[in-house]
Every structure is written in C-alpha cells, then in structure tokens.
Structure 1
Amino acid sequence: MKKLLLILLAVYFIPANSYSQSGFKDKISFSHPLKFGAENNYSPVKKMSGSDSLKVVAILVQFQEDNTGLTSGNGRFDLSNKYFNPSTGRDTVIDAPPYDSAYFSDHLKFLKNYFEKSSRGRLNISYDLYGNVITLPKKMEEYSPRDGEPLSKLGGLFNDAWARADSFINFSTYDPNNTVFFLFHAGVGRDVELKSILGFDPTPFDIPSVYLGLKNLKEFFGQTYNGYQTLEGFFIQNTAILPSTELRELDLISGNVLLELGINGLMCASVGSYLGLPDLFNTSTGKTAIGRFGLMDGQSIFSFNGIFPPEPSAWEKYYLGWVEPIVISSGELNAVIKTSSTGTFNDSTMYKVMINSSEYYLIENRNRDALRQGQTVYTRNRNFNDSNKYLKDEEGFIYFDISKISGNITDVTTLDWSLPGLINDTADFRGGILIWHIDESIIESKFASNTINNDINKKGVDLEEAKGAQTIGVTFSTPFGEVTGDGDLNDYWYNGNHFVPATVYKNQFTPNSIPSTLSNSLANTNIFITDFDSIKAVMTFKIRIGGSIKPVTGFPKPVGFDSNAHAINFNFSSSSVNNEDIFVNNGSGIFGFNSLGTGIGNPLTGIVDLSGGKYIPFGFTQNNLRYIGGLNNNSIIFIDNNLLKTTSVWNDGNASAPSFGINNEILVGKNTGVISSYNVSGTSTRLDSVPYSINQFTLESSLAYKSTGGSNKYILAGNVSSTNATDLIVIDTLNNIYVNGNRLRINYQIGKILSSPVLADINKDGLQEIIFNGSGKIYAMNYAGVLIDNYPVELNSKVTSGISVADVNSDNIFDLIFVTEDGNLYVRGNDGVIVSGFPVQVGLNTISTPSIANFNDSLGISVISGDGYLYAFKTSFAYNSSKVLWKNYLNNALHLNNNFVSSGSLPVISEKLPKDKVYN
C-alpha cells in the first residue's frame, strides 16, 4: 500500500540544493476546534513559583459493532496484525494495531515526557490507564455529531462511558483540581479535513477529537449540572475524547494510500486545552495561524505527522506560568538570549518588549538542534524498544515524511526538531530568534469564543515572519492547486540568507522594516530590535525603545482606573524648577512618580496616599513647601513634600466637582450646592450655597470665580470675543454652547461633547478658540460658533480623551494632544499634520486628558489610560512654558479652567481670594 506524504509547498523558491521533495501535495488542515462553545475561560497570565503535578486518568471505550462503511473500522478496537512484518518482528508503520493497553501506555509515556521537557520540570504528569475495555450500548454513529449539529451526542458518549467505568474505578483517590480524564475510543478521529482531497468525507460518522470541560457539559445537561457523579461522590468535570489512531486508508484515483498520522500531538494539545490554552489556529476554517512554531495549532499537532509536536510557543509558556520574561519598556539593551529548545540552559531567557500594558513582543531563541547532536527517536515496536538517531533531515525523516519511523514513539531528544527549518548536507537552517506580537486585548475579548486568531489581519498571538511577507494562514493559488502557508525556515530572525531581496530583510525589526514594530492600531512604538546574531544556541541582538519620543523608564505604571481619573504634572519632589513629577488619581487614592519612574511616597507602587483620589489632584507652593492634595467625598487632604499630611473634613455634603485653587486656598463644590474653601492650616470658610450640585469651576477674572451645575455640565472663561474681553463659556447637558449667556446658533451637528472643553489661541488671531471632543471628533470654533480651518478633525478611530494644547516640536504651529479609542496618542498640528514620531501607543478606551510635563527641560506627555496604567513619554523637543496653552485637564495644577493667553503673554493671577460668584 502506498503512503501519503504530507507536503506543504513554499510560496517562494528555496535553493535547488536545499532539498528535493516529491509526493502528494498537501491540502490537509485540522477540521474543527479542540474546544467548543464557551469552554474557554480567560484568566491573567499564571504565576508558577515551583513545579505542579497533573494526573491523567484514561479509559478504553469501544462501540456496538457496525458495518456501515461510514465509520473507520467496525466500532471495535482493532487488535489485528495488519501492518506486522514477521521477518523483522516489527510493525512497518507508526501507531499500528493491536490497540491494547500496552499501545496506549506508550502514548501516555510520550505525553509525560513531552510536558516534562517543554515545561523544564514545571509540570509533572503521571497517569493511570485502565485496560478494561468498555463496550458502550450504542454504535459509533449514534455518538457522532454530524457537521453543523450541536455536540450534544458527545455528552451521551461522556455519560455512557463514565457510567460504566464507575463500576471498576475508585475515583476517591483523585484530586478534582489536577486530574484530566482521557477517553480513548475505537476508530479514527474525525480530525482531518478530507473534503479538499477527496471532494467528500468518506467516514462522516467518525467521532471528532475534542476537549470537553464543565461549561460544555452544562450546555449538554443544563446549567445545574456539575459533572458525572461517581459512586464515591466524585464529580468528573472534563474529558478529552481521543481516537485509538489517526491512521486512515484513502481510496484515491492512484489507488489505496495510507495517510500516516500519529496521535501524540493530539494528546499533547488536549492537555494544553485542559491547562487553559485556547486554540491558536483559525477555528472557523481550520487554517493554521501560528504554523509549526507552537503547540495549539493544527500544523503543530500534525507536525512530523503527529508523532512529536514542537514545544509550546513563547506566549503559551508565558501564559501557563512556565517562564518569567525579562521586561523591557524603555531604554537600550544589548540582549543575550539562550535557546529554549533544549534543557541544557535552565536559565534560558525570553524578552517581553512593551508596546503598552496589554500589547507587547515576546522574543525567544528556538533551535532544532542547538547542541548539534541530531535527533534520537525512541520507540516501542512489538517486543523491541528501539532508538534511532538522525543527524539531518532526510527522505523518510522530515516533517512531511516519516516512513523510516515505525512503532509507537515514546520520546525524542529534542521536541523542537519538529520546528520549521532544514538541516542537511548543503543547508544548515536550525532556527533563530522568533518574535511574537501579543495583543492581550484581542486575546481577552475573543478567548471565550475560542477565536483569538481567526482574524488573519489582527491576531491575538501573531508571529512576525522575518522574511517580509506574512504568509502563515494565507492561501495561495499555485500550478499545483491551492496552498496555505504554515511558516518556514526564513521566519526566524538571524544574520544570514533569508532568500529575499536585501531591501526586504535588513536584519532589523523597526517601525520602518517589513514587517514593522507598529502596534496593531498602527501607532509608532519607537521599538528598534536590530543586529540579530547568526543562528546559534546563544544569540545576541539589540533593543532600543525610543527615537524622538521615548517611554519614561519604568512606565507604564499600574494605578487602576476611574472615569474621573486625570494626571497633572507638578514640581513636587525635585529641587530643580525644570523637572516636574506626575500625579494621578484613580477614584480612591493618589499616585505620584518622578521623571525617572520612581514612585513618590512608595518608591515601587507610587502610592502617595490611599485617599484623596476622587478627582484630579491639585498642586501648589506655599512658604517654600510644595503641596499635593485631593478630595474624598467628605474630606480634603494636603500632603507636603516631606510627605506630612493634613486633613480637613466636613458634613455638609459630598464633593461633587474637581477642586479649584487660588491663593493657596482650595475651593470644594458639593452636591448640596455648598461651596467652601480649605487651606493647609485646617481653616475652612463657607463661601456660598446654591440650589444645585456643583459640577465645575472656572476663574473668570482676578476678582471672581464662577461655578456651574444643575443642567449645565461645563464652564470656562477666556477672551474669545476680543483681545481684552472676559467671556464665559457654558455647555449644558443637552450640549448647547453659550457665550456670555447667548446660545450659539451653529449649522452643523456636534453630537455629545465628551470632555471638558479647552480654550487656546491655536490660529494666533489673538482670541481663544473653543476646542472640544464632540462624539469622537475634535471641533475648534470661534466665539460665534464658526469652525476654523482644518476642523473638525475626524480620524479612522474616534477620539475618546480630553485635549491638551502646546507647540510640541517648536515649529511655531500649535498642536492638539489627544487619544483615540484604539489607544493611539496623537500630537496633531493645527495645520492637520501629525508631528513626526506620533501616534504612540497607550491603552485602549482612554478618556482622561493627556498632561504636558517639563522633564529636565524636555517636553513630556503623561496620560492615564483605559487599561488602568499611567503612561509617560519624553520627547527630544525642548519644553517652553510660553508655548503650552492648555497643560492638563482644567488647564493647570490648580484647575483654574481658563485661558487669557494670546500672542505669548501669560496670565497674572491675583493673590487675593476672589469674591464668590456663581453662574446658573
């Protein structure tokens, strides 16, 4: 009988001397997900300090005999000698019958060895195999869901099998928290897409190999179901349904051929499912998404025809808690990385290069034969325990052709020999550095549906293919038919030939390379990974984060998130007047960090105080002391730069608006309408009481503040109608805009005004423009409501944040600073030009206002993002206070919320406490 060779044609030319291949043109893919329904349950990356253990409990199940021809076999375990060669005393193929206890024990032994090797001893598997063959009351077809049918028939298989196993297994000795159950059944798995080869599925009643968890079982048996309850009261809450074999004979035009596939890869992936890994292939089409570079992909499951899959990818190991990568978020590094493909280096490294808190690159060094000792394959073949060593890829021992291997594979020396590559007399492509683009926001949002890599243009776990063209999972038409790329030897990063033009592969991964380090939202990450070493067990390369814009060392910082969270930059702890610190609230507490990334208060967490964080912090200087502070519902705190704290409390209402400061007095507006002032001495003064909850303050002039509330949500003051005017702008809850009490009659739609407006003379006409975010667009209008040139600003992604204004790059054009919903931090000139180096990436769904900082005379930008992290960037541009028109939310550290600056002049603020005035 002929054997079917699995060949995946490359989409570009490999040198003629690399290898000569012949055989059947591969169109094979995994035909279904390993996990179904909502079984996936996303959890943060696991942390494992030591080793863990896992018990596998396996039973053997067969069916009532049938002869329909629509299943592989007759429903019973094949105990024949159909592939046995009497002259050698051995079987001639892998995974040959008889399918008895010894056969399944061999495969479980491989499973144990696989995870011991790939986890570096962090996961130790033991197994109990019960050899009593269970004969179920139904035929296989009665347990097999048809294409498009719900999987409830598998629930019947689950229930019938364990009900019969319950009669001879004592389950009381098993721990439900670390036991996975295997159901090995007679027959072949319905796991390979054969329609593309034959035009139809010859055995549609075979059973698909899937992992069933408790959520799946609840789908079958109801939400109150808690698993199969045994006689001892133990609940079986999971089961991996696995076939006895993946060998199948196909009747082709050329005659009968044997499709020779093993079950080792399928078993390993099933345990991966139990451990919490999602499928990493396209679960809708079955197409590969990470190629043969990890575990949870069909191409990896059947790599080397399924006899030994490669080790899990960098993300899979990271997610399981097996490795702790070195995190790089800023600066430069000459990196050294040891291969993770061999147990020789217990300290093998992985690098995590941050884009933002949830998007990053994982870098690993993978090598098929790092020690240049070849690959030894250990098998049991009947009465023989064999070991065969291969020093190179050769006919009969290459990833699509294993005709030299026979018997049951129990172990190999190097799992990663299964990776893409080519080692022979004329080629030495053993591997290199792999760079994985990880986006946890995609992973988290698509984890439950098990579709994290279904969008080929925006995967959650994506390999950056070094050769330029990103072909994994892409189907091409060729003279031989359609071919889908699954990764190859040129997808590693190394100093050497990639068989593409030098204009494509430049041995660097940068914002301008192919592929590039741009974020998934196409923001400039300013990440440069360059100078990759030649292929070896220990490789070097360089990492640099930052060009004209660099993340501040140690950022982003986790601070939590609240809808009222904003940052200010204030010179609190530094003796230099040219170096500001960052302070931010998170709804409860106040955090602070200096421009070197060190926390103020707590050097690690940055917690200044666990209270005072209901609204944006305030800052001011008095008697050579610098103060930072904030509001709680019923109190205000002042903390000086010696970290001494003063608290004042009240009982006449809850704080309902950001604080407002002048002359070292902090005004607090309350939901009862009361307005009071407080100072560091503990003195308070009741200034006014109005019949509505206070929403916001502004300083109208040196003599008067204004407040608003009730049906009005925003108020601010500036000279919008004439150079010397004092104008009051109010926006109500219906998004009507009033200037000096007169409603603007505008002839265009602005929608909902999403953030507090700003005033800035961005077109240098001597008058402030009114600038705001309206339903995701940026509007800039004059006092009459007429839009100025280049507005509104509408980008591909909606603007979600507030706005700050400065001439960032000193080109005499004022720039607006804001964030879009996809996490891109923009600096956009009033002329419509994006400042070079922007956008940069922060977290998704950022609604707070960016804050402009002086970091040692360099302009910096900080913002608290929707992911609960504080981001800070330092630019190469000089900080010039005269070119900062609106510094942060409500303009400055005292939240004066006004602007009378034009033609470079600065406001003069009276030291006299203003008279109380209100605007209704």
Structure 2
Amino acid sequence: MNFKSHCQLKIFLFFIVLITHSALSKDDKVAFKPMIPKLTVADPLDVVSNFVRRERAQQEPMTIKILALRAQFVRDSLKTTTGDGHFDLSDESDYKIDGPPHNRTYFEHQLLALHNYFYTVSKGQLGLEYQVYPPAEDAAYQMPNDMVYYSGEEDEEKQKQRWAELLRDAIEAAKADNPGFANYDAFIIFHAGVGNDFDFDFNETPFDIQSAFIDFATLQETLGQNETNYRGIPAGDNFYIQEGIILPEQQSQKGIDLGLLGTATLLMGSQLGMPSLFNTQTGRPGIGMWGLMDQGSFNFYGLIPAHPCAWMKLYMGWEEAVTVRTLDQAIIGTANTKSAPHLFKVPITASEYFLLENRQEDWNGDGMTFGRDEYGKRAQFDSLGTIAIEEGLRVITRVDEYDYGLPGSGILVWHIDENVIRDNLQSNTINDDPAHRGVDLVECDGPQDIGQQYAMFTPGYGTESGDYWDPFWDGNISHKYINDERPVSLTPYSIPTSNAHGRAVTHIEFTNFSGKDTLMTCRIGNTWHQPGFPQYTGQKFGEGTLNWIRLENNKNAVVAVALNGDIYGWTQDGSKIIDNDHTAHVTDYSGKTTVYPLALLASVGDSVFLPPVNMGFVDDDDNMDFAIVDKSGVMTIWSPADKDGDGQADLLQRLDLGERITSLPTPYGIGTESGYFYKLSAGEDGEFENLQKIKISDEPLFGVHQWTFVSETGTLTNLHVFTTVHGNVYAYDKDFQMIWQSKAFGGGTKFYPLSVTAFGDEKAQNPDPFTPLIIVSNDGQITFLDSEGHIVRKGISITPGEIKSAPGLGDVDGDGMPELLLSSESALYAFEINTGVSTLNFPLPVDNAATRSFLSSPLCFSNSSKNESFTFAATTGGFVLCFDAHGKLSADFPLSAGAPVTSSPLLLEKDAGSDEALLFVLADDGFLYAWNIDYATPAGGWQRFGGGYENNFNVHQYQDSETVVSADIMPKKRVFCYPNPAENGRTIIRYTLNEHVDHVSIRIYDIAGELVVQLNDGGVSQGDHEVEWDVSSIQSGAYIARVEAQAKSGHVVEFIKIAVVK
C-alpha cells in the first residue's frame, strides 16, 4: 500500500498517503505488525530552568472555527463505487472502526477527535470549534450528480475540476440553512462513501472520491478560470470561501477497518499551513512514520496519528528550541514532559542546523495505550500491533499516547536546511529531492532508507517508512554493528556522519547517548567552534572586505565594510569592538522575528567597492586605525575607539581627492581614474597633509605596489610599481623618478602586481634569492618581469582564462618558496615563481556542482617546523575548501557557510603570538562565520585578500636551511616525466632544484644506448622546471633520459624511463 501521487498538482493540493511499502489486500485484518571536542562549559540545569520559565509563559491558545457540511449524491448501484451515494444510517455493521450510523453526532465526534489531537500535540495552543450541518440528525445536502461524476473518473485534470465543484455545490446547498459562513475559518465537506486514498493490489472501486485539501489557486484554476478577478466561492453577504477540505464518511471498506482520523489530521494540517513532508511528486515518504505530515498520519491504521515532527512544531510555534553549540549534557524530555526542554537546536550555519527531540512510542512503559469514545468505551492497542475493542465502541475521540504508533523510540536527530524550505515552501515541495530534503531524519542505523524502494527479501525492505533503529540511544546495536562496535554517536567520523549538505564537515559531535526514557541525555560538542559566532550584518560585501586590526589590549579584531558603506567590527569572541545599541530585526519564512546585535562601527554614507586598509597607528593610542575609500573619491580614517561616547568609531580624518579612486587603497598611497598617484604621508600630529600628487599615466591606475628585493649585487632595493587598467607597468624609485616602463600580457581590465621579498641567511645554500615581479591579468595571462622591467620568460595563461578573484602567493607545496596562486571557475592553479612551471599536483580541479560559479581569492600559510602547507579558498556555492601540500582536500574540509561566499576569507592569529588560528568567512546572507581551526598559526602567510592588512600583494619570505626540502641538489623523487607513455606527440621532463646550479643537461638514449637527442635548455634556478621533448618524429619504443645538474657544490645525475607508443 503506497502513497497516491499526482505529479501535476498545484500549490497546497494535498492527498492522503499510506505507510506500508507492500500493497494492502482487502483480506488483511487490522493488526499492526511488530517492529523489529571542544566544550563550552554550561550547567544542564540552567538550560532546564530556562525552559521551565518559558513554558510558564506560553502564548494564549488559538481557536479555529470549522463548518462541516454533509453531502450525499444521486443514488447509484454501480460496483465501481463504495455504497449507493447516501450515508450509511444503519444501526448494525461489520465494521469495528467508525461504524454507522453516520449521522450528525457521528461527525461531531470525528471533529472532537480532531480537536483532541491538535489540542494535545500543540500543548493546548490550538483548539477547534465546530458545527455540523444540516442541523437535523440524519439529514444531508443533496448533490446534483452521482459519485462517479465528482470522482473525476481517474482523469487528473478532471478530478481537480470535479472536487472544486463538489465544494461549491455543497456550499450552495447549505445556503438554505443560512449557517453564517463568515463566522467560520475552515470548511469541511463530509461526503457519502469511502475515500479513494489507498493503493490496493486491485482497486475494486476506482470511482470513489479522493480526499483533498483544495486551496485558492486550485479554485482559480478550475471554477475561476474564466474570471479575471475571481474571489472564491460566493457564500452570501459578500463573503467568499477560498479553501476547503473534502473527506469521506469513513475509510473502512469491506474486509478492512481503517480510521478516518488519520486522513482528517493530515488534511487539517494542510489547512493550518503545515507543508507536506513526503515527496509530493511521487508520494514516496520523506520522514515516513515519524511525523504527522507524512505517513505518521496513518500510524495504527489511521487511529493514532503521530505527533508532528520537531521542525513542524517549531514552524507552527508550538515549541521553542534551546539553541546550543556545545553542552556537556543535554537533557531532552518527551513532548509531555514539563521538567526539561523538548527540542535542542544545534546550528551548522545560519540556515542549516540539527534539531534533536525525544520520541517515545510508549512513554509510560506499560506496553499499551488506550483510545476512548464519548460513551466511555475503550480500544486497547498493544506493542504487538493488535487492537482489543470493547463492545459498542463508536468513534475514538481521544488517545492517551499519540506517538504509540511510532516504529521505535529514542532521540531523533533532524537535519534541517531552511534554504531548501524557503525556496520550496510555496510550491509544497520541501522534501521532494531525496538527496537534499529540507526536513531530513538522520537515521542512526546508517543508510538513509526512508523514501527508498527496496525489493522484497532485500536488506532494506520494510525500512522505507522508518524503522526501530532510526533513533539514537546507547543500545542501538544496528549503529554499533556498522560502526565496528563503537559507542553510538553522530560525528564527522561515524556512520552516518554529522556532515552538512554538500558533504561539508561540521565538526559537530553528538556522543554519550543515554538509554531510552522520557528524559534522555547526550553530549553536544564542536571541535572547531569559535564562541560568539556567527554574527549578523544583513549586508552585501565585496571581494576583499575583511581585514584585521590590533586593539590596544594586544588583541586582534576583525573589520568589514559593506557595499553600502557600513563598517562593522568584532573582537575575536564575537562582541562588538564598540559597545552600542544597534540591532537588526529579521523575519524568517515562518513569520518569526529574530533580533540580532549589529557591530556597526561607522558608515561613510556612500557606496564602497574597495577593501578596507589597516593604516597602522595613526593617532596617539595603541589601536591600529583603518581607512575606507568610497566611490566619490573620499578616503576616511577611523580609530576603533569611542572616546566621545557616541557609540561609533572616532573619526580621525577625511581626505577628499576630488576624483574617483580606481586602485586598491594602501597606507602609502592610492591611484585615481585620471592616472594620478596620491602619496600619503603623516605629519607630526599624525594627520595626512600636503599630499604629493604624482602623474603616472593617462590611463586609470589599478595596481599600487611596493616592491622590495635584493639585487644581484646584494643591495636591498625598493621600487614603487603601478599598473593601469590596460596593462601598462611603471616602476619608480624612492624619489618618484621613473626607472622603467613595461607592458604586461593580457587583455583584461585588472592587472594585479605581486612580489615576494625573500631574505636568506648565511646558512642557506642560496642566500638572498631574487624573485621576479609578477603581473596577473584578470583574463588569465601571467607576466614575469625582472628588476629592469624585462619579461623574463614567455607568457603563461590558464584555461579557462577568466579570473574573477584576486591572485595570491604562498608556499603551497612546502618547499620553502612561495608559489603564485590563481583561482578560476573550475580549478585552483599554482605556479613556481622562479621558473613559471605549474606546481606539482596542480591545478586542482574543483567540482562546479560544489562551487556553482567560482572560487574566492586564495589564502595560504605553511609551518616549516611541521612541514605542513595549507591553501584555502571559498566558493560561491557556500563552501570553504582547504588543500594540503599534496593537493588533496583536507579531511577537515569543506566547511559550510550556508550561502554563497564572494568575499575572500581571513586567516588570523587567535591572539598576538598565539599558535592557534581563526578562519573568518563572510557569506552573502550577511553572516560572518568563524572557526577555531586546528592548524598552526598563519602569521607570515597569505592571510587575506592582498596578502596582509596593507593590500600590497606582497609576502616576505624568510628562507633558512630548515625550509629546504632535501639536502640533494636535485632530489631523485622529483625527477620524472609526464605523460608516460608520451601522448599527442610530446612528453614533459620535470625536475626540482634545491639551489641555483650552473648547468642542467638532458640526454635521451634509445634501448641500444644510442643518443637520440640532447636537450640543453633546462632551467638552472632554484625550484621546479619542465622541459618538453617533441616525440612526433620518434619511433615507438623505450627510452632512457639522463638528467644532470652541475653546481659549484657538486653534480648529480638521475635516470628516468620514457615510453613512446604510436
């Protein structure tokens, strides 16, 4: 027996669905089958006491008024429908459940059962009042057509039309009794016959009417299709009915007893605004028997509908969750417990989280539960799935334990993604994607079985709607079996994992689960949690918006400037740099409003497209000051202090240059649209006065850069380098006299100048090495220039060429020398600066499905003492990636920011001199995230957009003997060729030099020892080198390459085998 599915249904048109995988035979009897890090110290009792206070202050109950109309049809004797079109008013029946007479009192009792259910599961916050018409006990409104007509005759489009007509015809007939339609909130049509709501092996009555909730969109599509301003079904006195529920008089059919309550609760849930949690396109389960808005509505064959799931109760406002990120002991009570919280929310991002609840199928542990009718007659349900019914039982109007039909007990862990919910709520499809549901149950036994389709006799058969092993508790042997007998837990390393969607690592750990009970406990940990984050801004940000400053207490802090000119600042514990009362009120998709603190420092009152710059110590205090440049050409400098007590950063100076600034701001100057450079120099009072205005070019300036290098004579040299938007490069000395001019490769509009200032020592084998100036165009072209502006090697380009984010520098492979880092739409590239060849293991392809567009500007840092290097990049898919020195994605990554990330991340020492690092990421939903990553300090690495806080795109490299990978001149393991065998008429011979050498020769011999070719153009500088061998005219066979490097300290020879196959 499966859900009925209708793939073309419109918004909020819901249909009844069933719970079991196999088809239900009419010979089946009513019998339920047997169901086989780091911690922030918090006192669990404080959490409990806070919950109790909230419980006492719960909101006033809401009352929904229902008008129920009884409708009968033109009599028929067809075998394709159940009954003859009129209500069964007899006094005797073979039905054990919901038996006749189906008169006015019968339907009042059905509505009382509906009220008792919702009043119970909402903790008294929702009640139903109702009237049943016609007023006469045995009367019904006569419809003009027979049952077959209103069934739609198994035609989907016709069905919607006929159901709408049934709603309209019943309302029209009821007008004669003047029930006062405007006094009611909801309308139910109880029609004669049985609902066509279950898939049997063979349906003998295909023209029974399917139960449905009909929304206004469906009425517009059907009854109102020819009316421009359709308002609904007219009910008199200028009142229009826009929604309605269609239900049968019973669900039991000959040979099988089913309860009407399950159908009624599901559709009333839809009426109340609860979205469906099954797959509305296929009818397959989404949460199965674990909640009302899926197959839980039909637990114990529709007699004991389950409680709504944890998320649904939050959504309806019937519960509040206790939000924690770490807790040594979370005490979780069942829904009827008054002494402990019922729900715990553990955030992953601002929109994704875990939700924990305690569900017990038999909370009092007596092995049974009871249902009662209004006359005191009882039905007894036991754990074996049998029902004992007292003679004379009528409609069961109340049940002691509505979760008694659950398949098991324990802590349910729900994985909630509010982005999916928000995007699909209106279309009622939040659980239609089995691979990424909005409300998903993490099944403790490992595989996600709910919603699957397993063949009989296969391992997963019978688990497709939820099973005994889905909850978490300490004795879940199914979980232990799949996890090698380890204790029950949910961590990044368990099965299932605590990963976010997209396989992002959350570092959240749920451990120490207790046994099943009305009060259960577990431990909530997060090994990378940084207290105080995330923080909300509500703004959009540019690429290099994050920067850091140091406060007078020697603590590092974070600043960010939004595109609208608002400036925010936080300390490392998430508190505001400047204490003020700024807040933001945010209303979510469910109508709930959250108040967030806003760490607003100041605002420039204009749009800002350039990153902030740390100006160092401008005034006389111990705070690092920062500057913002707006689009009109005003540079404003602030101190992160509030000496005047106005709740904002103190304004130090405002410089109006009178023209648009086009370069990145730096502490030493900025470039303009007209090609001028304004040199910034502070006077004795700390203010910038008498700005030196220097004409550089007739083109807008883009790059402003200070290049420091050691010349061949050992002299420390400083040059001012400027690039224009068309790729012209200018170098000036300290007196701003032009030394040379050059032209970079590329046809882009952004030309980034980058450099490495390398300092050696007497112990290093190659002290004071020179590294070229690098110019990167945003169309993917790379230029290397020497100290005189000459191009030192042929241009390099990447494919695809477009670079949407700034380049970076960092020692990605741990060889002690930085590499050039570039990120494109589909890959992360690294190039050796001294040689221009691609770094070993690069480029790193990045799945576009994960990034969805492109990568941010990359970050990098290395730890020579541990021989570790890490490269970071964020994606517009909302993920943060980290690769090790071998080009492999770190096991601790990706991280999830929950929304696209277009701003470069920030790596920061936790405190000055600390060996811990913090990773900050701004997401496009306006939240700033922080992780206390378990990596070495990033001090000295490429920490942010532009490298350091000055936006200079320069990194200082202090080379010493410890940073050399090998004592060998040319390590054997770093001499090889690729591809091997050669492909497309070529192969590349690659080798690594750990020091500058005098000469490298490559001789290639055939198998007979005859010299085939000698390649003498091998590079001699320290780093990786590649030489291409053209084999287009070489015969197939095996060859030996002899690679020799000669240096003052000696020479080394290595041999490699090469295959040529044609």
TM-score range, shorter chain: 0.7 to 0.9
Number of the residue aligned with 1:79:
89
Q: Secondary structure at the match of 2:558?
A: strand
CA distance in 2, matches of 1:163, 1:411: 33
Match runs of 1:327-476 below 5 Å: 327-329=323-325, 331-340=326-335, 342=336, 344-345=337-338, 348-372=341-365, 377-380=370-373, 384-388=375-379, 392-394=382-384, 396-397=386-387, 406-421=393-408, 431-476=409-454
Report the Cα offset of residue 816 of structure 1.
Answer: 0.9
2:934 to 832, 857, 876: 876
CA contact (8 A) 1:697 1:897 kept: no
Q: Which amino acid counterpart does residue 830 of structure 1 have in structure 2?
A: A
CA distance in 2, matches of 1:582, 1:840: 20
Number of the residue aligned with 1:776:
826
Task: Decide whether aligned partners of structure 1 residues 682 and 468 sit closer, same or farther in structure 2, where only a CA change above 3 A counts.
Answer: same
Which TM-score applies when normalising by structure 2? Answer: 0.71
Q: Secondary structure at the match of 2:454?
A: strand
Task: Decide whether aligned partners of structure 1 residues 815 and 496 sit closer, same or farther in structure 2, where only a CA change above 3 A counts.
Answer: closer
Unaligned runs of 5+ in 2: 15-56, 581-596, 643-648, 709-717, 727-747, 759-767, 962-1062
2:574 to 583, 597, 607: 597
2:96 to 76, 89, 93: 93
In the alignment, does 2:586 pair up with 1:584? no
Task: Decide whether aligned partners of structure 1 residues 144 and 537 sit closer, same or farther in structure 2, where only a CA change above 3 A counts.
Answer: same
1:491 to 470, 494, 507: 470
Report the Cα offset of residue 268 of structure 1.
Answer: 1.5
Task: Decide whether aligned partners of structure 1 residues 238 and 770 sit closer, same or farther in structure 2, where only a CA change above 3 A counts.
Answer: same
1:865 to 908, 923, 926: 923
CA distance in 2, matches of 1:289, 1:108: 28
Over residues 7-27 of structure 1, what are the superposed CA-to-partner deviations in whole Å (9 max), with x where a residue is unaligned?
xxxxxxxxxxxxxxxxxxxxx
CA distance in 1, matches of 2:797, 2:339: 69
CA contact (8 A) 1:375 1:412 kept: no
Match runs of 1:817-856 below 5 Å: 817-856=872-911
Report the Cα offset of residue 242 of structure 1.
Answer: 1.9
Whichever of the two has the greater Rg, that structure is 2
Number of the residue aligned with 1:642:
641
CA distance in 2, matches of 1:677, 1:227: 70
Over residues 433-472 of structure 1, what are the superposed CA-to-partner deviations in whole Å (9 max), with x where a residue is unaligned?
1111112233333334433323333322221222334322
Number of the residue aligned with 1:617:
612
1:558 to 536, 543, 558: 536
In the alignment, does 2:145 pair up with 1:138? yes
Task: Decide whether aligned partners of structure 1 residues 645 and 147 sit closer, same or farther in structure 2, where only a CA change above 3 A counts.
Answer: farther
Number of the residue aligned with 2:840:
789
CA distance in 1, matches of 2:168, 2:873: 57
Number of the residue aligned with 1:511:
492
Number of the residue aligned with 1:37:
10
CA distance in 1, matches of 2:864, 2:394: 69
Q: Secondary structure at the match of 2:397?
A: strand
Task: Decide whether aligned partners of structure 1 residues 810 and 120 sit closer, same or farther in structure 2, where only a CA change above 3 A counts.
Answer: farther
Q: Secondary structure at the match of 1:881?
A: coil
CA contact (8 A) 2:549 2:625 kept: no
CA contact (8 A) 1:566 1:864 kept: no
Task: Decide whether aligned partners of structure 1 residues 649 and 224 sit closer, same or farther in structure 2, where only a CA change above 3 A counts.
Answer: farther
CA distance in 2, matches of 1:535, 1:759: 54
Report the Cα offset of residue 766 of structure 1.
Answer: 7.5
Number of the residue aligned with 1:248:
253
Q: Which amino acid counterpart does residue 344 of structure 2 have in structure 1?
A: Y
CA distance in 2, matches of 1:697, 1:167: 84
CA distance in 1, matches of 2:272, 2:661: 48
CA distance in 2, matches of 1:239, 1:766: 72
Q: Which amino acid counterpart does residue 641 of structure 1 have in structure 2?
A: P
1:575 to 538, 553, 557: 553
Number of the residue aligned with 1:232:
237
CA contact (8 A) 1:720 1:769 kept: no
Report the Cα offset of residue 539 of structure 1.
Answer: 1.6
Number of the residue aligned with 1:87:
none
Q: RMSD between aligned alpha carbons?
A: 3.6
Task: Decide whether aligned partners of structure 1 residues 522 and 139 sit closer, same or farther in structure 2, where only a CA change above 3 A counts.
Answer: same
Q: Which amino acid counterpart does residue 278 of structure 1 have in structure 2?
A: P
CA distance in 2, matches of 1:842, 1:305: 43
CA contact (8 A) 1:172 1:232 kept: no
> In terms of mean alpha carbon deviation, does 447-456 or 553-562 score higher?
447-456
CA distance in 1, matches of 2:672, 2:960: 32
In the alignment, does 2:261 pair up with 1:264? yes
Q: Secondary structure at the match of 1:591?
A: strand
Q: Secondary structure at the match of 1:873?
A: strand
Report the Cα offset of residue 561 of structure 1.
Answer: 4.5
Over residues 564-621 of structure 1, what are the superposed CA-to-partner deviations in whole Å (9 max), with x where a residue is unaligned?
1545352443512xx4212223323222222222222347332223557734333233
CA distance in 1, matches of 2:947, 2:502: 29
CA distance in 2, matches of 1:668, 1:146: 75
Q: Secondary structure at the match of 1:529?
A: strand
Q: Which amino acid counterpart does residue 709 of structure 1 have in structure 2?
A: V
Q: Which amino acid counterpart does residue 307 of structure 2 have in structure 1?
A: E
CA distance in 2, matches of 1:731, 1:803: 16
Report the Cα offset of residue 699 of structure 1.
Answer: 3.9
> In terms of mean alpha carbon deviation, does 624-633 or 861-870 score higher?
624-633
Number of the residue aligned with 1:607:
600
CA contact (8 A) 1:120 1:346 kept: no
Task: Decide whether aligned partners of structure 1 residues 835 and 860 sit closer, same or farther in structure 2, where only a CA change above 3 A counts.
Answer: same
Task: Decide whether aligned partners of structure 1 residues 33 and 617 sit closer, same or farther in structure 2, where only a CA change above 3 A counts.
Answer: farther
Q: Which amino acid counterpart does residue 29 of structure 1 have in structure 2?
A: N
Number of the residue aligned with 1:717:
754
Q: How many residues align?
A: 820
1:762 to 806, 809, 812: 812
In the alignment, does 2:743 pair up with 1:750? no
CA contact (8 A) 2:211 2:247 kept: yes
Q: Which amino acid counterpart does residue 131 of structure 1 have in structure 2?
A: P
CA distance in 2, matches of 1:35, 1:405: 43
Q: Secondary structure at the match of 2:151?
A: coil
2:518 to 537, 540, 545: 537
1:160 to 144, 147, 169: 169
> In terms of mean alpha carbon deviation, does 697-706 or 282-291 score higher?
697-706
CA contact (8 A) 1:825 1:838 kept: yes
Report the Cα offset of residue 50 of structure 1.
Answer: 4.7
2:205 to 203, 206, 223: 203
Q: Secondary structure at the match of 1:490?
A: coil
CA contact (8 A) 2:701 2:722 kept: no
Report the Cα offset of residue 641 of structure 1.
Answer: 2.7
Report the Cα offset of residue 530 of structure 1.
Answer: 0.9
Match runs of 1:51-70 below 5 Å: 51-70=61-80
CA distance in 2, matches of 1:379, 1:809: 74
Unaligned runs of 5+ in 1: 1-27, 42-46, 85-91, 250-257, 422-430, 906-920
CA contact (8 A) 1:477 1:483 kept: no
Q: Secondary structure at the match of 2:804?
A: coil
